[in-house]
Amino acid sequence: MKLVVALILAIESSCDETAVAIVRGLRGHPTEVLASVVASQIPLHREYGGVVPELASRNHSLHLRGLVEQALGDAGVGMHEIDAFAATNGPGLASSLLIGSTAAKGMACAMKRPFLAINHLEGHLLSPFIHQTEVPPHLALVVSGGHTLLLDVQGAGRYQKVGGTRDDAAGEAYDKVGKMLGLPYPGGPEIERVAKGGNPKAYDFPRSMIHDPHLDFSFSGLKTAVLYTLQKVQGEVPLGDLAASFQAAVIDILVHKTLRAAKQVGHDRIALSGGVSLNRALRAAFEVACEAAGAELVVASPVFCTDNAAMIAFAALLRHLEGESSPLAGDIHPNLPLV
Q: How far apart are CA 86 and CA 51, in angstroms?
A: 24
Q: What is the mean pLDDT of the chain?
A: 94
From residue 157, give the alpha-carbon distance in Å to each of 10, 127, 324: 18, 13, 12
pLDDT for the residue 3: 58
pTM of full prediction above 0.85: yes
Classify 157 as helix, strand or coil.
coil
DSSP 230-264: HHH--SS--HHHHHHHHHHHHHHHHHHHHHHHHHH
pLDDT for the residue 1: 43
pLDDT above 90 (res 75)? yes
pLDDT above 60 (res 142)? yes
| pLDDT tens digits, one per residue of 241-275 | 999 999 999 999 999 999 999 999 999 999 999 99
| pLDDT tens digits, one per residue of 269-298 | 999 999 999 999 999 999 999 999 999 999
pLDDT for the residue 257: 97
Q: Which amino acid is at 219?
A: F
From residue 290, give the alpha-carbon distance in Å to each of 125, 255, 261, 268: 19, 9, 12, 9
Are the beta carbons of 255 and 288 closer than 8 angstroms? no
Phi, psi at residue 273, to the nearest 5°? -150, 175
Q: How far apart are CA 223 and CA 61, in angstroms?
A: 35
pLDDT above 60 (res 168)? yes
pLDDT for the residue 50: 84
Q: How far apart are CA 251 and CA 172, in angstroms?
A: 14
Instruction: Catalogue the E-assigned strands of 13-49.
Output: 17-25, 32-40
Domain ranges of the chain: 6-130+305-321, 138-299
| pLDDT tens digits, one per residue of 309-323 | 999 999 999 999 999
pLDDT for the residue 49: 83
pLDDT above 90 (res 2)? no
From residue 209, give the alpha-carbon distance in Å to each of 61, 140, 252, 273: 43, 19, 11, 22
Higher pLDDT, 133 or 88: 88
Q: Based on the number of CB atoms within 10 Å of its own CB, is 243 exposed (0-12), middle (13-18) or buried (19 or more)?
A: buried
From residue 61, give the alpha-carbon distance in Å to each of 97, 102, 158, 174, 242: 11, 11, 34, 29, 40
Are the beta carbons of 253 and 205 closer than 8 angstroms? no
Residue 46's pLDDT band (cuts 50, 70, 90): confident
Between β-strands 84-90 and 115-119, what pairing exists: parallel, antiparallel or unpaired? parallel
Residue 145's pLDDT band (cuts 50, 70, 90): confident
- Mean pLDDT of all residues in 76-85: 98
- Mean pLDDT of all residues in 223-246: 94
Q: How far apart are CA 93 and CA 56, in angstroms?
A: 9
Are the beta carbons of 135 and 129 closer than 8 angstroms? yes
- Mean pLDDT of all residues in 20-27: 94
CA 10 from chain centre, in angstroms, equals 16
pLDDT above 50 (res 47)? yes
pLDDT above 80 (res 4)? no
CATH fold label, 6-130+305-321: Nucleotidyltransferase; domain 5 (3.30.420)
pLDDT above 60 (res 116)? yes
CATH class of the structural domain 138-299: alpha beta
Domains 6-130+305-321 and 138-299 share a fold: yes
Worst-scoring range by mean pLDDT, 4-8, 151-155, 197-201, 321-325? 4-8
> Angle formed by the axes of helices 280-293 and 187-195, to 10°?
70
End-to-end CA distance of the chain: 32
